[in-house]
Amino acid sequence: MLNLAKFQELLRAYEGEEEATAFLLSCARAFMDYTHAVYDKELARLAYPKEQTEEALYRSVMKELDNAIAEAHELVLATGSGLNRLAAKAGMPIVYRESGIGAKEEPAFSFVQEVLTAYSGGR
């Protein structure tokens, strides 16, 4: 998930700077919130099997969880950009890249891809 070595390097680069450290910790929480939102939906699918749940209830629960995932994902995108700005300021390469073109070629968190891979069981 979160590349702890790179994250720790970034924390060390801003050691003693309270605002930057607080921001970095809030970024880590945003990544974890996204992971939890994805897993919450998976757990809900187990708790509310589509075939055995009233259609309106199923749609309502899944819509609420989809909204939570979307909101958490937006925060991940915003905080990922902030992480990269702090890394650049410290003279480090980017530490976060959204999955997609070029994500595997660069040393970055590629966090969303890692979460989705774990979520799908590596399928």
Q: What is the pLDDT of residues 2-33, one digit of tens each?
A: 567 788 899 999 999 999 999 999 998 898 89
**Rounded to whole angstroms, how far apart are CA atoms 36 and 73?**
11
Please identify every stretch of the chain with a pLDDT value under 50, giving residue numbers as ranges.
Answer: 1, 101-108, 122-123
Measure Cα distances from 36 to 31, 32, 70 in Å. 9, 6, 12
Residue 117: per-residue pLDDT = 62
- Domain tally for the chain? 1
**Rounded to whole angstroms, how far apart are CA atoms 42 and 120?**
10
Full residue range of the structural domain in which residue 92 is found: 4-119
Residue 114: per-residue pLDDT = 59
Burial grade of 95 (CB within 10 A; 0-12, 13-18, 19 or more): buried
Residue 100: per-residue pLDDT = 54
CATH value at residue 73 = 1.10.287
Residue 96: per-residue pLDDT = 80
**What's the pTM value of the predicted model, to 2 decimals?**
0.72
Residue 116: per-residue pLDDT = 57
Phi, psi of 83 (to 5 degrees): -60, -45
- DSSP, res 57: H
**Rounded to whole angstroms, how far apart are CA atoms 3 and 110?**
9
